[in-house]
Amino acid sequence: MALIVFLAGIILFVPDYAWHRVTVSASGRPGKVLTWTAAVVVTLVLILPMQLSPIWNGAIREHRNQYELMAESLLEGHLYIDYQDIDPKLLEMENPYDPEARKQAKVDFHWDHAWYNGHYYMYFGIVPVLSVFLPFRVIAGRELNTMRATQLFTGLGVIGLFALFRMLSRRFFPKMTLGTCLVLSISVSFISFWYASGFPALYCTAISSGVCLEIWSLYFFFKGVFIEPRERLQLVYAALGGFCGALVLGCRPTIALANLLILPLLAAYLAKKKREGTLSLKLIFRIFLAALPGLIVVAGLLVYNAVRFDSPFEFGQSYQLTVADQHHYGGIPDLTAVLNGMIEMFFQPMEFQTTYPWLSYGGIYSSFPLLLFGIALLLPGTLRSAGREKAAAVLIGCFLLPLLITLFEVLWSPYLLERYQMDIYYLMGIGAFFSIGFIGERIAGKKHAAAFRSVVSFLAMAAVISAVLLWVVPHDKNYTAYVEGALEKTGQLLFFLKP
């Protein structure tokens, strides 16, 4: 609540305050201090509530400790999870992936694992295990609670968004005020990670790690292509960007589709080198060397898949023991299902209620109208402005890639879940940031510019409030659904509601 009051004070009650009149570039050291202070506050607000629900904080593990078990499996020298209670009936089933057949056979099994050739596997990506869980197990001598990894990736993701937006504003948007950059950094952070704050274990560990690494991948690529003047450092940033982007494939493959943004960034970089007269075979070879770390990561992940499932392109999706038989998913698209999935993901209306917390889950644009600015990327004026900065293709990618990611999720999932929206929130937020920045650069006159900033600020504050309320909605044994009286407590704490 303190953060909401803080935001409301900045956005609504003191619109002429200093950080609404000074640009990011001109804000100097005070601007940096304020930016990183806000980043730390947002991080704490998002990660501290992860500890509240026993179902999701690790107190009640069930199947949500797979990352911990996978770290132990690696230390034991194998890639499967060595459960000692395998039901013989599961081994005898003709199709163990059919949930109705498992029910009729009364099979005992471990929920939401991959099952192949008589072994249980973790179909969630191995990268969080290798980067966090295994090192912690070796150094500390004990397991790392999965929730802690989600806190880590969420915090690093928030810092990455603040760093990315600050860098982009300084490079592309000289008119953007510190206040506008701050409210967008804060609101997109809340939009991107609010769901992980309520459901931190396992599923959101996979998603938050992928989102975090993709944010930093884009940060490094943008810095190398548009910011850094020295060629050697450009290639260093490209190597870091490619490495982080490749790691996303080992967190959550659908998020890794955002790596397609590398193509327009590479095209922009090569075009710049051609204009400068420095494009050569030697440079192409250096770019290949910069790509090697990422290519090695991808090759390693493909080998990891092949060893487990006899196919380098099988991540375990087909062999899940869960609510549906996904063994034959991914065929010819059902256009009706695709259209319905797109509408559900982006435009499903929110259901408003007369009682607290007043709203429920809905489509992305219904929940966060601020992201509608991303559609303005396609307006001719916005594209022309982006084209002058050699960023038009990147903006188009920010609009199209969420559609592509949603298409894959419709084809490969029995139904869309709220957490799947996390796969694209940050990407749509980056697109909205670009659009707002380019629109702001074209607005003439102080009054019109101030009015535009007020609209953006209002929608940013509405996004933060919406994220907080959606976190409160009782759902899937989260804090307010699982702990008796928790819903009333949050109402008293956040909105001063009477008990």
Q: How far is CA 70 from CA 115, 218, 265, 367, in A?
A: 14, 29, 36, 36
Written as six digits, the tokens of 334 are 């059902």
* Burial readout 276-300 (b: 16 or more C-beta within 10 A, e: otherwise): eeeeeeebeebbeebbebbeebbee
- State the pLDDT at residue 362: 95
> CB of 64 within 8 A of CB of 124?
no
Pairwise CA distance, residues 137 & 176, whole Å: 45
pLDDT at res. 330: 62
Average pLDDT of the residues in 362-390: 89
Using CA atoms, how far apart are residues 95 and 91, in angstroms rounded to an integer? 10
Question: With pLDDT > 90 as the criterion, what percentage of the chain qualifies?
Answer: 76
Sign of the alpha-carbon torsion through 259, 263, 266, 268: negative
CA distance 342 to 359: 21
Q: Are 146 and 59 in contact (CB under 8 A)?
A: no
Q: 140-179 burial, b for 16+ CB within 10 Å, e for fewer? A: eeebbbbbbbbbbbbbbbbbbbbbbbbbbbbbbbeebbbb
Residue 205: pLDDT band with limits 50, 70, 90: very high
Mean pLDDT estimate for the chain: 92
Q: Are 408 and 257 in contact (CB under 8 A)?
A: yes
The 10s digit of each residue's pLDDT in 148-203 is 999 999 999 999 999 999 999 999 999 999 989 999 999 999 999 999 999 999 99
Q: Which residue has the higher pLDDT, 34 or 19?
A: 34
**Tens-digit pLDDT profile for residues 394-426:** 889 999 999 999 999 998 888 889 999 999 999
- Indicate whether 350 pLDDT > 50: yes
What is the longest distance spanned by two Cα atoms in the chain? 75
* Beta-carbon count within 10 A of 455 CB: 12
State pTM to two decimals: 0.95
Q: Provide the pLDDT for residue 2.
A: 47
Per-residue pLDDT at 257: 97
Angstrom distance (rounded) from CA 259 to CA 213 = 11
Distance, first Cα to last Cα, the chain: 17
Contact 406, 341 (CB under 8 A): yes
Mean predicted confidence (pLDDT) in 45-71: 94
Contact 241, 259 (CB under 8 A): no
User: Could you count the other beta carbons within 10 Å of the beta carbon of residue 382?
Assistant: 23
Cis peptide before 474 (omega within 30 of 0): no
Residue 327: pLDDT over 80 = no
**Domain segments of the chain: what residues?**
2-63+128-495
Mean pLDDT within 241-250: 98
Are the CB atoms for 426 and 161 separated by under 8 Å? yes
For 256, counting Cβ atoms within 10 Å of its Cβ (0-12 exposed, 13-18 middle, 19+ buried), the class is buried
How does residue 16 score in pLDDT terms, banded at 50, 70 and 90? Answer: low
| CA neighbor of 399 nearest in space, from 225, 192, 260, 244 | 260
Highest mean pLDDT: which range of 280-284, 442-446, 490-494: 280-284
Dihedral of CA 47/51/53/59: which sign? positive
Tens-place pLDDT, residues 262-318: 999 999 899 889 988 989 999 999 999 999 999 999 999 999 999 999 999 999 989
**Residue 380 pLDDT more than 50?**
yes
Residue whose pair of structure tokens reads 């998020």 in the numeric block: 255
Average pLDDT (191-216) is: 97
Instruction: Return the pLDDT at 13.
Output: 38
Which one-letter amino acid corresponds to residue 383? L
